[in-house]
């Protein structure tokens, strides 16, 4: 078993994500052992739970750590898109975002190939999707900026986080309008189904009430007949009537 001092360049959890991917597990366990030796069991337990990044996430982490200027361009574009008040500012922010995504995608692919890892179309797609998705995923954006992604992030479909590289700023207003209409229709459909379910429940309750009333009427009639028969039997037997 390796000694905790075999990886002196790892001084904390953040350092784990800068290591070659195949060294992550060993380095994590050695760091946890080192923390135990230092009497910090709580920190050691937290380190032991850290997950090894996926291949795409590792490539993105290295790109984020080694291309800080491009990362800042991407983050700035997100802020500008949120604050855009005109078609021109929206276009400029979109252009900045598109360039940053393209540069960081290339950087992540280069990090993987430089580490001797072939990049499949699926991996490249996961890299691009993550760079797009973090626009509307604040926690994901923070993990990316810190170079500590553990997994890829898929676009949520809610907002401009899922807009592709070929995004056209001129169509942004139409895209947003279409999205708003779709959300409104989806909500209307959901409420319609809820109303139909409620109406069905009312109908069932009404039928149950009618059945209960019919059973009560039948029981009342049967009771009245039974009382009449009892009265006749008492009269025939010459028994005194109940007082």
Burial 111-128 (b: 16+ CB within 10 A, else e): bbeeeeeebeeebbebbb
State the DSSP string of 168-196.
-GGGHHHHHHHHHHHHHHHHHHHHHHHHH
Q: What angle do CA 106, 14, 38 make, to 5 degrees?
A: 160
User: What pLDDT score was predicted for residue 189?
Assistant: 66
User: What pLDDT score was predicted for residue 185?
Assistant: 58
> What is the pTM assigned to this prediction?
0.62
Residue by residue, pLDDT tens for the chain (243 residues) are 344 455 657 888 999 999 999 999 999 999 999 999 999 899 999 999 999 999 999 999 999 999 999 999 999 999 998 888 888 888 889 999 999 999 999 999 999 999 999 999 999 999 999 999 998 899 999 999 999 999 999 876 544 544 433 343 444 444 554 455 456 556 666 766 777 777 776 777 777 777 777 777 777 878 788 778 877 777 787 766 655
User: What pLDDT score was predicted for residue 69?
Assistant: 96
**CB atoms near residue 51 (< 10 Å):** 11
């Amino acid at each position: 078993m390796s000694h905790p001092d075999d990886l002196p360049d790892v001084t904390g959890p953040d350092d784990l994500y800068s290591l070659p991917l195949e060294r992550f597990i060993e380095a994590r366990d050695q760091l946890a052992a080192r923390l135990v030796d230092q009497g910090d069991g709580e920190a050691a337990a937290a380190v032991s739970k850290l997950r090894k990044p996926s291949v795409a996430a590792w490539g993105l982490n290295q790109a984020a750590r080694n291309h800080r200027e491009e990362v800042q361009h991407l983050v700035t574009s997100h802020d500008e898109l949120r604050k855009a008040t005109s078609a021109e500012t929206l276009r400029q922010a979109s252009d900045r975002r598109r360039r940053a995504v393209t540069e960081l995608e290339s950087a992540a692919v280069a990090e993987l190939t430089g580490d001797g890892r072939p990049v499949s179309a699926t991996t490249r797609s996961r890299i691009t999707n993550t760079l797009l998705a973090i626009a509307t995923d604040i926690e994901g954006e923070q993990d990316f900026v810190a170079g500590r992604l553990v997994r890829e992030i898929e676009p949520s479909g809610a907002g401009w986080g899922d807009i592709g590289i070929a995004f056209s700023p001129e169509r942004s207003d139409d895209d947003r309008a279409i999205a708003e209409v779709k959300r409104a229709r989806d909500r209307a459909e959901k409420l319609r189904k809820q109303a139909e379910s409620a109406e069905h429940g009312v109908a069932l309750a009404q039928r149950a009430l009618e059945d209960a009333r019919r059973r009560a009427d039948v029981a009342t009639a049967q009771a009245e007949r039974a009382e009449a028969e009892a009265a006749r039997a008492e009269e025939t037997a010459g028994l005194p009537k109940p007082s």
